[in-house]
Amino acid sequence: MLAAASCSDSTYNNSNPGEVEDAAKVVDLEADLSRNNFIDWFRIAYPSHSELRWRILGWQLDSKSGFDLAKQSRKPLLLWLEDGHPMGATSQRGRDMRSTLGDNSLVSILNEYTLAAVDINRAPDFIDANSGELAIYLPSGEVFASSSDVAVELVANFLTSKLADYKSLSSDQLGNAITGDSFSSAIRTEDDFPDNGLSLEVFKRHANSFVLDEYKQTPWLKDFIWFNKTELLSFVTPIKISSKKKLSADLMNRIVHDGFSSKFAANDMVKSEVVFSCNSIKQLRSTYIITGIANYQQGDEMLQVKLRGKATYDSGRDQFGLLEIIALGKVTNADGSSEQFTTALRKVTSIDNWHRVPPKNLSDYADSYYLSNGSGKPNK
């Protein structure tokens, strides 16, 4: 069982977070999450190489980056448009398309395009296409062709036939390249995740069992949690060996809302604490063991979470080099039914394009890509 290390054993009253509440109301989650198995839990809860293999082709994360790269590479631009970012918290159709784009048969034809994945809600005003479409754009910013098909064969036919049509266009038909001012109405990813803060990508899955050997992976939902520079520093400072830094209730509420369940608010907290325990310091690098629990209650509904993780921190750069957390959780509904889940949280940066680069061990998909592309640099 997981017990969170803490500077205080107080629990918090739902109606008034400042009042101490009877600890008997804190329900213990019956889940085996220990310092001996939390790394194994993280590895199987975090998406595998096969689940992320469609990322190998180098998707740009906004329309401007896509148009800029298409101009440089002289390839047609393929925009993947969804309600919610295709690589983040997107629609069920977006998740289906991820599976389609991971099919080996599409590798060669996709490599003929410059690829960009865009949240339709963040796109600039000139984007004239619908959510759930693959849209081929001219350099002028006009739609050349679009498709809402998801089936592998139909997507392949669309991309192949339209590529031939695109290559037959004259310079006049392609038009002049769109200007930078046209993108002023777009909402940039960089505005959400500046480099001087801490960005965590979050993968949540339903869990069939909290017995490690019986855990079955289900499709994941993804989101991000961002902390500014001041909040980042509060995770670990002051840095002292054997120190136990307790995360504030406000920061923990953000993790609970975006990583575990959005139905519970700050005033639903019964007890919640995450502790970063410093177990070594070597020059500017310190390492941490992370432990925590979260108990929230709203009427007859309850959220119970246990978590563990590890982190390394570089005080010279005031940045985490590594931060990985695995959480096992359960939501009990008012009718007595319950839902179990795992949540894996991992630090990402702009170097990752805010998304983890898939492991470099070559799958069949990667082999197909390198054979057709001849390079480790997508779209070049």
Check whether residue 242 and residue 347 sit in a common domain: yes
For residue 158, give both structure tokens. 């669309």
Q: What is the CB-side half-sphere exposure of residue 277 using CA atoms within 13 A?
A: 15
Q: Is the per-residue pLDDT at 105 higher than 70?
A: yes
Q: Is the per-residue pLDDT at 5 higher than 70?
A: no
Residue 7 is assigned to a structural domain of this protein? no
Residue 1 is assigned to a structural domain of this protein? no
Rounded CA separation 75/89 (Å): 28
* Domain containing residue 91: 63-187
Rounded CA separation 228/196 (Å): 7
Check whether residue 250 and residue 267 sit in a common domain: yes
Q: Which residues pair with 324 in a beta bridge?
A: 310, 346
Check whether residue 69 and residue 127 sit in a common domain: yes
Q: What is the CB-side half-sphere exposure of residue 141 using CA atoms within 13 A?
A: 16
Q: How many beta carbons lie within 10 A of that of residue 194, not counting itself?
A: 12
DSSP-assigned letter for residue 375: S
Boundary-marking domain end, from 125, 158, 187: 187
Check whether residue 183 and residue 327 sit in a common domain: no
- Which pLDDT band, with edges at 50, 70 and 90, does 228 fall under? confident
pLDDT (0 to 100) of residue 2: 34
* Cis bond before residue 86 (omega within 30° of 0): no
pLDDT in tens, 31-78: 889 888 999 999 899 888 777 777 777 888 888 989 999 999 889 999
Q: Is the per-residue pLDDT at 360 higher than 60?
A: no
Phi (first) and psi of residue 187, to 5 degrees: -100, 120
Instruction: Please report, for residues 47, 63, 111, 181, 220, the alpha-carbon distance to residue 224 in angstroms, rounded to integers and kept in the order given.
Output: 15, 20, 28, 28, 13
pLDDT above 70 as % of the chain:
82
Residue 368 is assigned to a structural domain of this protein? no
Q: Is the per-residue pLDDT at 337 higher than 60?
A: yes
Q: Which residues pair with 82 in a beta bridge?
A: 119
Rounded to the nearest integer, the mean pLDDT of the chain is 82
Check whether residue 144 and residue 237 sit in a common domain: no
Check whether residue 204 and residue 182 sit in a common domain: no
Residue 359 is assigned to a structural domain of this protein? no
Rounded CA separation 55/217 (Å): 20
Check whether residue 218 and residue 133 sit in a common domain: no
Residue 33 is assigned to a structural domain of this protein? yes
pLDDT above 90 as % of the chain:
40
Check whether residue 89 and residue 163 sit in a common domain: yes
Average pLDDT over residues 1-8: 31
pLDDT in tens, 292-304: 999 999 999 999 9
Rounded CA separation 168/35 (Å): 61
Residue 242: closest CA among 216, 280, 268: 280
Distance of CA 156 to the CA centre of its chain: 27
Average pLDDT over residues 259-271: 90
pLDDT (0 to 100) of residue 369: 45
210 touches 265 (CB < 8 A):
no
pLDDT (0 to 100) of residue 357: 53
Rounded CA separation 380/375 (Å): 8
pLDDT in tens, 140-174: 999 999 999 999 999 999 999 999 999 999 988 88
Average pLDDT over residues 85-93: 75
Check whether residue 344 and residue 224 sit in a common domain: yes
The model's pTM: 0.75
Give the CATH number for residue 121: 3.40.30.10
Residue 371 is assigned to a structural domain of this protein? no
Q: Is the per-residue pLDDT at 234 higher than 70?
A: yes
Please state the length of the chain: 380
Q: Is the per-residue pLDDT at 19 higher than 50?
A: no
Helix (H) or strand (E) holding 372: helix 364-373
Check whether residue 182 and residue 274 sit in a common domain: no
For residue 9, give both structure tokens. 């054993």
> How many independent structural domains does the chain possess?
2
Boundary-marking domain end, from 164, 187, 210: 187
Check whether residue 164 and residue 250 sit in a common domain: no
Q: Is the per-residue pLDDT at 373 higher than 50?
A: no
Residue 245: closest CA among 277, 271, 273, 272: 277
Residue 370 is assigned to a structural domain of this protein? no
In sequence order, what are the residues at sequence separation of 6 or more whose Cβ sits closer than 8 angstroms to the Cβ of residue 272? 12, 249, 252, 253, 256, 292, 293, 294, 295, 296
pLDDT in tens, 199-222: 888 999 999 999 999 998 888 888
Residue 10 is assigned to a structural domain of this protein? no
Q: Is the per-residue pLDDT at 380 higher than 50?
A: no
In sequence order, what are the residues at sequence separation of 6 or more whose Cβ sits closer than 8 angstroms to the Cβ of residue 6? 244, 246, 273, 275
Check whether residue 147 and residue 292 sit in a common domain: no
Q: Is the per-residue pLDDT at 312 higher than 80?
A: yes
Boundary-marking domain end, from 139, 163, 187: 187
Span of 81-85, 207-211, 326-330 with lowest mean pLDDT: 81-85
pLDDT (0 to 100) of residue 355: 60
